[in-house]
Amino acid sequence: MEAKRRELVPLALLWGAGIATLVILIILLAYILANGLPVISWHFLTGEPALWGQTGGGIYSTIVATLAVTGISLLVAAPLSVGGAIYLNEYTKETPLRMVIRQAAEILAGIPSIIVGLFGFLFFVIYLAPLTGGWSMISGGLTLAFMVLPISLRTSEEALKTVPTELREGSLGIGATKWQSITTVVLPTALPGIITGLILGVGRAVGETAAILLTAGGSLNLIHSLRDPGRPMTLNIYDVLSEYRDTTTAYGTAAVLIIAILAITLITDWLMNNYTKKLKGL
């Protein structure tokens, strides 16, 4: 009895830790949304940025820049990660090479964004300047691809692993070649999981700042080509704060960004749930 009573304190502390974590998230989101949602208007989303030295204005050019760098990173990372996952899961046994590749992806995932940015700056912005245009959407997008790749590779591999072996064997058993069974049986079954991995990667790309700071240029003008420098939304929050402490624009941009990221998280959750339901129904 005495022991049970003394346990109330640690148990209450554990509950407290769980609640504290939840409260931290709620405060953070409530603060940004309460200040940011009133700023968002049609004009804010589609309007031109304020002239240099002034505050306010729209963030259309930063939304376009975010879409551009994210799109480029996905275009590069998606085939690499899906192809890599197929190779790792379908074509190799548990060999040292496979462990090395997986370890490399693991290390890549742990590298701080500023270091990925340094690499992108040196390689894409300076070394490949004639191709990428120096600081540009291409340089930013290619740098982001290095951050998207490990996430989507790992998730795609997990998705391929969950495809039941019987499906592969059944397909091979009725005379399909290995490639045919991968494209017509394995990939369609694993597709929701693969898409989830890509969406997680998109979330990472949309929210990244430090790597973008060193590679994308930061110009507020609307981009006309992918070789133009631009300023994605994350960088805009930092820049408007450090340039003129324009908190209004920063709140609005942060709210748009948070809504986009939360939507991405919800879509991933929904896809994952549907996916597991479908697998159970097989």
Partner 1 sequence: MVSSVWRPTDSFADGLWGIFPIIIGSLLVTLGAVAIGTPLGVACAIFLAEIAPAPVRRVLVPSVNALAGVPSVVYGFFGLLVIVPWIRGQFGGFGTSVLASWLILFIMILPTIISISTDSIRAVPREYKEGSLAMGATHWQTIRSVLVPAASSGIIASVILGMGRAIGETMAVLMVAGNSITIPNSIFAPTSTLTAQIALEMGYATGAHREALFAMGIVLFAFIMILTGLANLASRRRITY
Residue 147 to residue 211: CA distance in whole angstroms: 9
Q: Using DSSP, how many helices (H) and how many strands (E) does the chain show?
A: 14, 0
Residues 74-133 that bind partner 1 (CB under 8 A): 106-107, 110-115, 117-118, 121-122
Query: Which CB sits closer to partner 1, 136 or 171?
Result: 136
Q: Is 55 in the site for partner 1 (CB under 8 A)?
A: no
Residue 180 to residue 146: CA distance in whole angstroms: 30
Q: How far is the CB of 209 from partner 1 (least distance, A)?
A: 4
Contact letters for partner 1, residues 209-248 (x by CB under 8 A): xx--xx-------------------xx-xx--xx----x-
Residue 258's alpha-carbon distances to 22, 36, 135, 145, 254, in angstroms, are 17, 10, 26, 21, 6
Yes or no: say if 217 and 231 are a contact pair by the CB < 8 Å rule: yes
Of the candidates 157, 208, 228, 246, which one interacts with partner 1 according to CB under 8 A? 208
Closest CA to 92 of 138, 43, 160: 160
Task: Print burial letters for 1-11: b (CB count within 10 Å at least 16), e (below 16).
Answer: eeeeeeeeeee
Q: Dihedrals φ, ψ of 230, to 5°? A: -150, 175
Q: How far is the CB of 228 from partner 1 (least distance, A)?
A: 18
Q: From 46-54, 80-88, 93-101, 199-207, give the range in contact with partner 1 by CB under 8 A.
A: 199-207
Q: From 26-34, 73-81, 160-168, 179-187, give the range in contact with partner 1 by CB under 8 A.
A: 26-34
What is the binding site for partner 1 (CB under 8 A)?
3-4, 7, 10-11, 13-18, 20-22, 24-25, 28-29, 31-32, 106-107, 110-115, 117-118, 121-122, 203, 206-210, 213-214, 234-235, 237-238, 241-242, 247, 250, 254, 257-258, 261-262, 264-265, 269
